[in-house]
Structure formats: structure tokens, C-alpha cells
Chains A and B, each alone.
Chain A
Amino acid sequence: MHRYLCFPAILAGFLMAVGCYAATDQQPTLTTEDDLGPQVQQPIEFPHYRHAGNRNTVDLTNSDPTKGGMEINCQYCHTYARRSLTAGIPPLQKCVGCHQNIPSVRDKPRIVELFKYWDAKKAIPWKKVHDLPDFVRFNHERHIKRFIEQQGRPVQEVCGYCHGQVKEMTTARRQKPITMGWCVSCHMKEHVVVVANKDGIPEGGTPLGKQAYWYTFQKPAETKNAAGELTAKGPNDCWLCHK
């Protein structure tokens, strides 16, 4: 081949290969794989497993801290999640509010540390673990409303969609990728939608009523899956998170 034709030929071949690859590329699938983030050193090694972990069914007194948790609702401490964008870190008062009434663990090193901050009247300088870029505004409230209030799913399961198995950790560590592609992989999925009953009350699902569109800011296209159930995609509006 003439040497001047060689490069264009290679280029054309390359473009065709890329084109073929892109043409067969399918819709993104739901990404659920784990992607462990860095271990963040916290001022106090807070044991999430002890607070939120499952109860020890054998030892009913739950005395062994390595074996059982208290099954405290995530939202008891991260109380802003259901009413604001951020989940929030509990104030020191919340920790002390319980722990001043739990004398049995008062001499444990972490609790001693906790009360040092309390006596010094200083907030604990917790470090951010799930730190999104400044141009991303994830809304906790929306997701809590959708999954916990409307669909009645268990709290720990719902929080775990993005935060992983925090109830088995000491201090939290990022388990999911929390990238835009990862978020979108869920929003691009056709989720089953449950229509409200005659009184407009959601029957454990998401109403597609006359006025309330839980998915997008426009009435979603009502598509049906193979089982005949009504499905809709999540919002895909850039200005929902970036603004």
C-alpha cells in the first residue's frame, strides 16, 4: 500500500472498530459491586456494629460487645436524612444523652474519650467518609421518602444501597463507588411502580396519581414490563444534583 494511504486506512479501520463496539453497547446495568474506599481515621473509633448491628439472638442480655448490636435505627442519630439534603452527624449531646445513663461502659476507653470532649465543651471533629464533590447535591430526603416512607422497606437495607453494610463496621468506610455512573445505573433502570389506590393512598409503593409524580418532574411514560407491571425510570435531569 502506498505509504500516504497507510495512515488514513488505519484510522478508518480504528474508527469502524470503535463504531461497531459503540453500536453494540447496551444500556448500563445496575452496578451493585463493592468498591472499598480509603479507611478514614476518626477521632474516636465509633463502633457502628455495636449500635446498629443485629441483636445477638443467643445472648439475650447482649452483654458481649463483639457479638451483638443494639439495632438502633440509622435515623435516630443521622436524623436530618429524612428532612434535608444531608444525613448529618449527630451532635455530642446525642451521644452523651444516652451514654450518661449507661454506667456499665463508662470506663471503656472510647467512652472516656467521648466524655473528654463533653467536659471540654468541644464538638468531636469527625471526618467525612462519603464526601461528594462540591458540585454534587445528593438529596437524602427524597430517597428516604421514596424507599422507606412510600415503599416501607427496612431502614438499614435502604441506607445500605449507597452506604454498604455500615452495621458491620466500626467507623464507616465507603463501600460503594458513589460515582455518577453508579448513581445513574440505578436511575436508568425500569423500576416497578405501584399505583395508588382509589383514595390516592400509596399501597406500599409509588403512586402514579394525577398530581404526584414520584419519579420525574414530568409525568413518566407508563411502560409495562414482561410481567405486566407498570414501570418507570428515575429522574435523569442534570439540574437535580448539579446546580
Chain B
Amino acid sequence: MSVTNLLDNWAAVRHFHPIDDKPHDPYKWAMAIDLDACIGCNACAVACYAENNLPVVGREKFKHGQVMHWMRIERYWEEDGRDFPDQGFQFLPMMCQQCEAAPCETVCPVGATNHTQDGLNSQIYNRCIGSRYCSANCPFKVRYFNWYDYPTTENVWPAEMNYQLNPDVTVRGKGVMEKCTFCVQRLRAAEVTAKGEGRIVREGEVQTACQQSCPTGAISFGNLVDPESRVHKQWQAQQVDLDKDAQEKNQKEGGTDLRGYRILEELRSYPSVMYLERVRESAV
């Protein structure tokens, strides 16, 4: 990319999605997670390990914070004076929020993480040099760094176990950053099939691994642009808009029907994942 091109097309190079002149069309992948339905079973995290070739690092490395779970279940305890078994807490499945104005993208020195046209925050392993700047700038702390060469030296996939690796996903080597991709390998396969048939991807045609494995159906995933998709309907019903940092919700005095929110919305990273507040008193 030449300097001329960079200066002439700055708006295109750093294009903020979505903006009025260039809305998402025909795809914007988004998610909605119902925390009331989440039972914290970790099936989503396990499915993610299986789908995305994540190394199981073991107890020691977990203690050092070198765990590689792209999808993690966070626990929030209620500070109400009660002790452990009775103390209420809630689960929060946390993964890359695929921000529209992602803080990680602006700081990458080599452009290894950037925005795709269907609204994903891409991470290109072969371009990554491992500066870890993106992880430092991520408000959700959902980026994971390969401190070890897991495929070979650390032996996380001993002989024959390597046959269970997903061939559609790169097995990352030492020194690159990685994160949730919204199962981009499935999205691309569905998009390419749809493209060949001259249509867009239909609702329900593509699922992420976490969504597929969720026993309570807490996770819904789909095309936010498609008015028929469940995600679109949920976002609409909860009055959550992608491009607003403070949602103009039609809230009633003394209680509300609306449960939808996005995490750290005020930071204006415009995440693509909407959470639905818990209604039950305690998760368990």
C-alpha cells in the first residue's frame, strides 16, 4: 500500500462500521446471550476448544494466566453478606465482542488485526509479530497470547490426538495473538455456499460452536442485517443499536421489561454481542 493510496483512501482504510454512507450489507454477524438462561455449564467453552484447536495448557500455566480459552465463563459474586454456598452469583460467558470500533485494531503495529466487511474483527496469525499491544488495549481482555509452541514442544496434542484437530483452523504457533473468531471458518463456508447459489446465508444455516453446544439455548447468533434472524429480533426487542454508545431505551419508572445491554458500552467500542440481564435472583 503506497503512501498516496493511504492518504487518498484514509476513510476506507480506517472505516468505521457501520456508518450511514456504508451500512453493513448483506452481512453483519452478531450475537445475543441470555444470562437468565445461562447455567454456567461450560459446554460452550469446551465446544470452542474442540472447534478452534485450542491447547489445554494445564494447571501451572493456568495459574500464570496463560490459559487459551477463547470462550470463558466469568463468575460474579453478590456482595450481600452471605457466605459461599448461599452467596448468589451469576455467570457471564465472555468472548471477543467483535467491536465495530475495536481498540485492538488501531494499535496493531503491523495491521494483523483489522475489520472485515461483514463486521468481524479479524486476527491474521501469519501477520502477527506478537507485540501484544492489542491485548493491552482490549477492554474485555479476551485476547490470548501463545507463550509456548503448543503444537510441538508442549505436547498438548500427543500422537494421534492431532487427528482431532480441525483442519479448517490454523494451529497457532509460538508468539502470535489469538482470540474468538465467531467461528469464522463456518461463516465463510456458509457465505461461500450461499454466494454460489446466489442468495444470502439463511437464518439457522450457520451456528457457532458455542451456540451449537449450549444446552439451554442461551446463545443466539446470526445476521443482524437480516430482519428475519433471531438476533435481529432480539436486538430490536431490547432496543439495542449497534452504533449507539448510550442506548435510548424506553425505560419505565421503577422497573423495565428491557434487559439488553452491551458490556462497557460507554467506552464506545460498539461491541457486536448483546447480553440479556438475569431475572432470576441467583444463577444457582
The 8 Å CB contact of B117, one of A27, A237, A242, is A237
A207 lies within 8 A of B4 (CB): no
Contacts of A242 in B (CB 8 A): 124-127, 170
B201 shortest CB reach to chain A, Å: 10
B192 lies within 8 A of A237 (CB): no
B229 shortest CB reach to chain A, Å: 14
Contacts of A139 in B (CB 8 A): 192
A219 to B126, CA, bound (A): 28
B171 shortest CB reach to chain A, Å: 8
A18 to B192, CA, bound (A): 41
The 8 Å CB contact of B198, one of A26, A207, A217, A239, is A207
Interface-side segment among A32-40, A66-74, A129-137? A129-137
A149 shortest CB reach to chain B, Å: 8
Contacts of A133 in B (CB 8 A): 126
B211 shortest CB reach to chain A, Å: 18
The 8 Å CB contact of B170, one of A25, A134, A142, A217, is A134
A196-210: CB near B (< 8 Å → 1, else 0) gives 000010000001010
B198 lies within 8 A of A23 (CB): no
**What's the count of A-B pairs with C-beta under 8 Å?**
88
A23 shortest CB reach to chain B, Å: 5
Q: Number of contacting residues on B, CB 8 A? A: 34
Q: Number of contacting residues on A, CB 8 A? A: 32
A217 lies within 8 A of B3 (CB): no
Q: Does B203 contact A (CB under 8 A)?
A: no
A142 lies within 8 A of B192 (CB): yes
Whether A26 touches B125, Cβ cut-off 8 Å, given contacts A142-B196, A237-B116, is: no
Q: Does A49 contact B (CB under 8 A)?
A: no
A135 to B120, CA, bound (A): 19
Q: Which residue of B lies closest to A142 (CB)?
A: B192
Q: Does A22 contact B (CB under 8 A)?
A: yes
Contacts of B181 in A (CB 8 A): 239, 243
Whether A135 touches B3, Cβ cut-off 8 Å, given contacts A142-B192, A213-B195, A218-B117, is: no
Residue from B118, B169, B192, B196 having most chain A Cβ neighbours under 10 A: B196
Whether A239 touches B199, Cβ cut-off 8 Å, given contacts A141-B192, A219-B25, is: no
B4 lies within 8 A of A239 (CB): no
B114-133: CB near A (< 8 Å → 1, else 0) gives 10111010101111000000
A219 lies within 8 A of B26 (CB): yes
Q: Could you list 27 A-B pairs, sorted by A, with CB under 8 Å? A: A19-B3, A24-B4, A25-B3, A27-B5, A141-B192, A142-B192, A142-B196, A145-B195, A207-B198, A212-B199, A212-B200, A213-B26, A217-B26, A218-B26, A218-B27, A218-B117, A219-B25, A219-B26, A238-B116, A239-B116, A239-B122, A242-B125, A243-B122, A243-B170, A243-B184, A243-B185, A243-B188
Beyond the given pairs A142-B192, A213-B26, A237-B117, 5 more chain A to chain B contacts, judged by CB atoms under 8 angstroms and listed by A's residue number, are: A22-B4, A27-B5, A142-B196, A200-B198, A238-B124
Interface residues of B, Cβ cutoff 8 Å to A: 2-5, 22, 24-27, 114, 116-118, 120, 122, 124-127, 168-171, 181, 184-185, 188, 191-192, 195-196, 198-200
